[in-house]
């Protein structure tokens, strides 16, 4: 049997170059703290001995695992909106030679932080450098992650029950101005009886309702909220809302849906009742999910640039890992209203 050639170790390189292992690490990581003479001596030893550091050795030298966790909490595997964010995380990470591990977590907002059963990969010290939190995020999860001293970045739109002073790194998108743009567009098309459909107990839908309300008040119009509680899904919410939307003495000419799932539920229920979109009621959504362009007509909606959110989360987490003492950062990315076929001119 042919013998497997023995690999040169980093200690052998250090002895040959007459330096310590730490100096080898700094040379491999292109540190400016090594003189050019020492660097040349180390590189010569590496060439002569044929040293090739493997992935595990590089991680030991850097004192980093080069792996982060994308933790999706209290959402289905894999929620389409968050799947696109994960795609952005992975895209940026691969360019930076980082690895991304996906994990899911379901927990109650009433569970004490120390009782939240995190995925094993987060409980094992040294396997993960940091976490990107997505899904529905409650304060007890934030406290739990802080408790294990794990650097993290959170999708700020989906944080529940926190005040405005949030001491952690966060990336989000502009809920309020998204629906403000959509509402202004409806008004520019002649609509005055416009209602908002959404469960405002969710903070992101509350912000969207505020944007809608601001657009209405700009034109001295009265905001109207169509809401419901304890509905199984946003799609069901949209379907159940149609009765209330159509039952008033003065039927609205347009609906601002809190998200595309609600808009889809509205559209289906309106179709079943023989109410045509946009001939009889115009409809706009929020998120620009894939289903939006499959509706008939295609849905006008607020586009959230999900991949960019993921890339920004990953970039911010790497900044935190390289500069642990830096001040907490908050980024709010703009949204964009996309005009399709679900709004008509009055």
Mean pLDDT score, 147-151 = 90
- Which class is 67-173+307-333 in CATH? alpha beta
Give per-residue pLDDT as tens, 114-125: 999 999 888 776
Domain positions in the chain: 10-62, 67-173+307-333, 175-304
Instruction: Give the residue-averaged pLDDT of 11-31.
Output: 80
**How confident is residue 29, by pLDDT bands cut at 50, 70 and 90?**
low
CB 258 within 8 A of CB 231: no
Q: Which of 283, 259, 279 is nearest to 204 (CA)?
A: 259
Nearest to 167 by CA among 43, 46, 45, 329: 329
Q: What's the pLDDT band for 140 if we cut at 50, 70, 90?
A: very high
Do 175-304 and 10-62 have the same topology in CATH? no
Residue with more model confidence, 1 or 209: 209
Distances (CA, A) of 64 to 55, 114, 127, 329: 11, 25, 9, 22
Instruction: Please give the CATH architecture assigned to the domain spanning 175-304.
Output: 3-Layer(aba) Sandwich (3.40)
212-245 burial code (b ≥16 CB/10 A, e <16): bbbbbeeeebebbebbeeebeebbebbbbbbeeb
Topology, domain 10-62: 434 Repressor (Amino-terminal Domain) (1.10.260)
Can you tell me which residue has the tokens 């029950």? 161
Q: Are strands 282-287 and 130-135 parallel, antiparallel or unpaired?
A: unpaired
Strands (E), 149-259: 152-155, 169-173, 194-197, 225-226, 254-257
Q: What is the pTM of this model?
A: 0.79
Phi, psi for residue 38 in degrees, rounded to 5:
-65, -40
- Tens digits of residue pLDDT in 154-182: 999 999 887 655 689 999 999 999 999 99
Is the backbone peptide bond immediately before 278 cis, with ω within 30 degrees of 0?
Answer: yes
For 197-211, write each residue's pLDDT tens digit: 999 999 999 999 999
β-pairing verdict for 169-173 and 130-135: unpaired
* 55 three-state secondary structure: helix
Rounded to whole angstroms, the Cα distance separating 124 from 128 reads 8
């Amino acid at each position: 049997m042919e013998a497997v050639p023995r690999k040169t170790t980093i200690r052998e390189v250090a002895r040959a170059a007459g330096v310590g292992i730490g100096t080898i690490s700094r040379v491999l990581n292109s540190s400016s703290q090594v003189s050019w003479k020492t660097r040349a001596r180390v590189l010569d030893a590496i060439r002569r001995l044929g040293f090739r550091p493997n992935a595990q050795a590089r991680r030991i030298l850097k004192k980093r695992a080069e792996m982060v966790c994308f933790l999706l909490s209290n959402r289905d595997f894999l929620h389409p909106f968050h799947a696109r964010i994960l795609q952005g995380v992975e895209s940026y990470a691969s360019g930076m030679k980082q690895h991304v591990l996906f994990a899911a977590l379901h927990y109650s907002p009433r569970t004490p932080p120390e009782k939240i059963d995190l995925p094993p990969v987060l409980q094992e010290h040294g396997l993960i450098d940091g976490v990107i939190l997505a899904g529905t995020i409650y304060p007890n999860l934030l406290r739990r992650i802080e408790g294990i001293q794990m650097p993290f970045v959170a999708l700020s739109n989906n944080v529940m029950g926190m005040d405005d002073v949030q001491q952690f790194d966060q990336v989000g998108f502009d809920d309020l101005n998204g629906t403000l743009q959509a509402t202004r567009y409806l008004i520019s098309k002649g609509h005055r009886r416009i209602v908002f459909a959404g469960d405002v107990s969710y903070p992101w839908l509350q912000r969207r309702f505020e944007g809608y309300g601001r657009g209405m008040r700009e034109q001295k119009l009265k905001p109207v909220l169509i809401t419901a509680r304890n509905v199984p899904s946003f799609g069901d919410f949209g379907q159940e809302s149609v009765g209330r939307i159509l039952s008033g003495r003065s039927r609205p000419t347009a609906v601002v849906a809190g998200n595309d799932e609600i808009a889809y539920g509205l559209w289906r229920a309106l179709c079943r009742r023989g109410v045509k979109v946009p001939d009889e009621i115009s409809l706009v959504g929020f998120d620009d999910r894939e289903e939006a362009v499959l509706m008939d007509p295609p849905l006008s909606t607020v586009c959230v640039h999900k991949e960019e959110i993921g890339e920004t989360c990953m970039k911010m987490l790497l900044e935190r890992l390289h500069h642990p003492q830096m001040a907490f950062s908050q980024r709010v990315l703009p949204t964009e209203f996309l005009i399709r076929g679900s709004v008509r001119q009055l």
